[in-house]
Amino acid sequence: MNFELTDDHLSVQKLTREFAAKTIAPGLRERDRENRFDRNILTKMAESDILGICLPEKYGGAGMDYISLGLACEELEYIDTSARVILSVHIGLNSLTLLSWGNQFQKEKYLTPQAKGEKIASFGLTEPNAGSDVVGIQTTAVKRGDRYILNGEKMWISLADIADHFLVFGWTDIVKKNKRDHTGISAFIVERPFAGVTTGSIHGKLGVRAGNTGWVAMQDVEVPAENLVGNEGEGFKIAMFCLEQGRYTVAAGSAGLIRACLDACVTYSHTRKAFEVPIAEHQLVKEMIAGMEAGFQISRLLWLKAGWMRNVGLRATRETALAKWIACEQAEKAAADSVQVHGAYGFSDEYPVERFYRNAKGASIYEGTREIQKLMQADYALGFRADRPRRVNLPPWPFGDGV
């Protein structure tokens, strides 16, 4: 494995860093206070090719690789988690799934406008009473002629009030539903204009307040059979694929949050004095800053390894889960320590570490809780899960002109 970033990687890093500083940072504190999502950010992301960064040029994307996606996530979350969430759902949970599991019709109709940023995509698996327990979902999809009739509600959906397309999951086999047999779940592309689709926002969130999170309800929604992704019964397998891509983006983003905490604390500790010297000279402050540095380096190496494996077409489920678990855990610790370093000022939104602290918590829950990631690592170590590198549906990156 080569740890050196290529010129293309450095270009993506620089472009995204400048984009985030210029477009996302201004007015962020006000948007966070007001729980307000700025739709203009999506437009500007599309204009900068960020919304299609690792999608093939053949479908309107920028044709970059998996490492580039991680770098973009890291730079976006360095400024604010809500910006990284956009890539997690639009690319990680939805677009990469269509690229791998969608047929040619679906790629041309849905993936192409998503890669260009003309349409925004989201993902709907979690429900009011089903999160980690995927087979606990209650959404049903009953086939009638050339259509499926979907009924159910999805909860904690990022971009719920913004997205044009939703990748949703429901039971197509009620007998298997009653037996909790995951082979009865299927995946569908649902468009916002379909009759019976309604959405709403969730207010009062602890963090990611400048992002849009909500619910999606479907009442007798008629979905064309051609919008079935994969085959009937492959929904659970597709959902697990989706979550792996999402975990990768969360891990990379969490590394960005750790770096943001580190930079904020380094700056503050050189200017703030206690006992007549800068607090940077106090050993316990140094200890916390050292922990942030270690957390960042470890987290970045873990997500880079997972990204490199995907770049060469190798399965990286174990590595991605580990990266997600460790990076999110380290981000939480770094955020808590950064508030401590800032003392009373860290308890107000005068400094960004207060926002970092609130935003860090969510990542240890979504895209698979830290407990799920721990169980996965234990199962790999104990031999309950297969641990062999193998080719996945996606071809090796970079895509260039397409698959």
**pLDDT tens digits for range 215-245:** 999 999 999 999 999 999 999 999 999 999 9
What's the confidence (pLDDT) of residue 400?
38
111-133 mean pLDDT: 97
Catalytic (active-site) positions:
367
In sign, the C-alpha dihedral spanning 291, 297, 300, 303 is: negative
Say how far apart CA 131 and CA 156 lie, in whole Å: 10
Rounded Cα distance, 86 and 89, in Å: 6
Instruction: Kindly report, residue by residue over 239-257, the tens digit of the pLDDT.
Output: 999 999 999 999 999 999 9
**C-beta atoms surrounding 372 within 10 Å:** 18
Tell me which residue has tokens 């297969």.
Answer: 386
Average pLDDT over residues 112-116: 98
Mean pLDDT value across the chain:
95
pLDDT in tens, 356-375: 999 999 999 999 999 999 99
CATH number among 3.40.50.2300, 1.20.140.10, 3.20.20.70, 2.40.40.20, domain 237-382? 1.20.140.10
Tell whether the model's pLDDT for residue 399 goes beyond 90: no
**Percent of the chain residues past pLDDT 90, beyond the cut:** 94
Q: What is the homologous superfamily of the domain 122-233 according to CATH? A: Butyryl-CoA Dehydrogenase, subunit A, domain 2 (2.40.110.10)
Q: CA 20 → CA 15, 23, 75, 292, 325, distances in Å? A: 9, 5, 7, 22, 25
Q: Hey, what amino acid is at 28? A: L
pLDDT at 1: 66
Mean pLDDT on 293-320? 95
Cβ neighbours of residue 302 under 8 Å, at least 6 residues apart? 251, 319, 322, 323, 326, 327
Structure token pair of residue 134: 């995927």
Query: In angstroms, rounded to a whole number, what is the distance separating the alpha carbons of residues 236 and 175?
Result: 16
| Structure tokens given for 242 | 């989706």
Q: Kindly indicate the confidence band of residue 2, based on its pLDDT and cuts at 50, 70 and 90.
A: confident
> Of 183, 172, 182, 171, nearest to 135 (Cα)?
182
pLDDT band at 58 (very low <50, low <70, confident <90, very high): very high
pLDDT tens per residue across span 141-166: 999 999 999 999 999 999 999 999 99
**Phi and psi angles of residue 260, each rounded to the nearest 5 degrees, phi first:** -65, -45
Give me the pLDDT at residue 386, please. Answer: 84
What pLDDT, on the 0 to 100 scale, is given for residue 403?
31
Q: Which two tokens stand for residue 22?
A: 């210029």
**pTM of the predicted model as reported, rounded to 2 decimal places:** 0.95
- 1.20.120.350, 1.10.540.10, 3.40.50.620, 3.30.420.10: CATH of 7-120: 1.10.540.10
Contact (Cβ atoms closer than 8 angstroms) between residue 337 and residue 284: no
For residues 376-401, give the mean pLDDT. Answer: 71
| 298-319 mean pLDDT | 94
| Domain ranges (residues) in the chain | 7-120, 122-233, 237-382
